[in-house]
Structure 1
């Protein structure tokens, strides 16, 4: 028994010595051109798959609206801008650079081998030593699920190439927000209801990361101050604050009552966001006419502490911190249902 123990110790010591030499002397060839030694690829890929399966959210955590066409469209547009360089678009080959990577990023046609929960975890967390980054903004699950929605729709959805646009490249502002700023997508805000100043401020915050968003930071990172000013004038409306001062139609729905009375020591939503705001109220974004789903998503971000940006961020976090899911749904219904004119 003593000889067996000595033999095992010698083998372990020899293995440790070899490992040290590989790491410190550089014996292992890390060249992407040469690829991995026999067995290493299997070891790393198996570790990757099992790690994802262990940590991915289960079916109960998948949003009920994962198959909503507007969510799929939002995910498709971001995929074109932020992901297609490596993974390509349906029916298109990967770039030569992507094909030269080790490991080679999977083509979009094979990504759907994962469950929605597993795709969410991979997109949100990224994967070490593969070139797959984590989502650029922490705690923006709503954005990650939109990309998952697109990938999940691919096997059975028709016209997905057209959905993301022909060819790789950065999606233009109009592709998401519409030529006039009226997006028509319930997960994308209408810019024609905001002032140029509000749009410019938001873009600067996205660019700096002060306002977290993986989708919008990708879009804003390369914008100069002059380009931001031009886009703000192109999509913004100077009529926003004026319309906020107009009185609201009488309503007794839960959302209307909550919006007009506020919560606890927090003033009414309408005091800042209208309608019926006072002339000396701070110039806050117009909520009237924004989509229900977009408003609800933003309120949840404020409530959960995942939304930042702007000098009034602290006030909004306080205003939303006690809202229940039912309160958020009621407020979103109220503001989305108000006429914009």
Structure 2
């Protein structure tokens, strides 16, 4: 009994001593926070091992990885966002980070080094959740993990050997500048065409992205680079972007038109609001819009993750009962129509 008591007292004394040492480190400034010194080797090992195991524990299952991860349009969208939001720390393929970034502790790894050990589902968790105490931010809008797959598609392309020339082609914004990179004639079909939308609708969408009413990590980053006072002028300029180059012909499933014309006593048919007779500048025209974009928006409406616009409640209700095949049919139907 005396021996047990001695052991317990020793453990308690060690705990008190450790607490006092910890308080001294915190309040007396004994721990050197200088980035010039870096971490001890054992500290690096502890941090990286903890990080590795944390990601493995929390990453989604491999079954969550989309089948279209090698879609060039998805890779292009991810590359453009990476170029604007991530390149300053992780550089681009074949590029050397600046001396300032190389002096960070911990140092952000070059993109090729950063992606090397990870599977797609693990990269998704890292990009979406971020990493504490590393400077790696979380995705700007929680709940939009669907957007994160675009960045993962780009990162997996880097794993497969994406070259500096490939990267330059994917991220080229000429002609038209930053916004035209995704929405202009050489943009990605994963982003909406703006030439078929009214300036009033585009301005409403910009305001919704800026306020968070319409969640999007990609667009909240993009809109943060613009002056709110210029939203009206920017909307006018975006509506005048040239039409994108013609993409592949979109096959329309049988029964798609009947579905677009179908409505109920409470919910009007798609064509009654979005068809050629639409004269409301705040209701978007859908004829000629990208199929992939329309499909994703309907999925977001159905899941309750889409906001913004004067008829949000109605659109949530309209999408609730749609099945995946019906969403695919409606997206193909409007995409195949002449704008």
Q: Which TM-score applies when normalising by structure 2?
A: 0.87
**Paired residues, number:** 320
Residue aligning to 2:249? none
Deviations 1:201-241 (A, max 9, x none): 21222222221111112111132245333332223169xxx
Q: CA 1:145/1:49 → structure 2, altered by over 3 Å: closer, same or farther?
A: same
> Which deviates more from structure 2 when the two are superposed, residues 37-46 or residues 212-221?
37-46
Residue aligning to 1:162? 168
Residue aligning to 1:116? 120
> Which deviates more from structure 2 when the two are superposed, residues 254-263 or residues 302-311?
254-263
Within a 5 Å distance, the mapping from 1:94-243 to structure 2 comes to 94-113=97-116, 114-156=118-160, 157-158=162-163, 159-165=165-171, 172-178=178-184, 182=185, 185-236=188-239
CA distance in 2, matches of 1:232, 1:166: 22
Within a 5 Å distance, the mapping from 1:296-311 to structure 2 comes to 296-311=295-310
Instruction: Say whether residues 1:52 and 2:55 are aligned partners.
Output: yes
CA distance in 1, matches of 2:260, 2:267: 11
Within a 5 Å distance, the mapping from 1:5-20 to structure 2 comes to 5-20=8-23
The answer as to whether partners of 2:76 and 2:171 remain within 8 angstroms in 1 is no
Residue aligning to 1:273? 274
SS at match of 1:138: coil
Within a 5 Å distance, the mapping from 1:64-103 to structure 2 comes to 64-103=67-106
Deviation at 1:111, TM superposition (A): 1.8
> Which deviates more from structure 2 when the two are superposed, residues 149-158 or residues 112-121?
149-158
Q: CA 1:15/1:63 → structure 2, altered by over 3 Å: closer, same or farther?
A: same
Residue aligning to 1:40? 43
Deviations 1:77-121 (A, max 9, x none): 111100001111111111233212110111111122211111100
The answer as to whether partners of 1:200 and 1:232 remain within 8 angstroms in 2 is yes
CA distance in 1, matches of 2:41, 2:18: 17
Q: Which TM-score applies when normalising by structure 1?
A: 0.86
Q: CA 1:319/1:237 → structure 2, altered by over 3 Å: closer, same or farther?
A: farther
The answer as to whether partners of 2:181 and 2:187 remain within 8 angstroms in 1 is no
Deviation at 1:133, TM superposition (A): 0.6
CA distance in 2, matches of 1:149, 1:230: 33
Q: CA 1:264/1:304 → structure 2, altered by over 3 Å: closer, same or farther?
A: farther
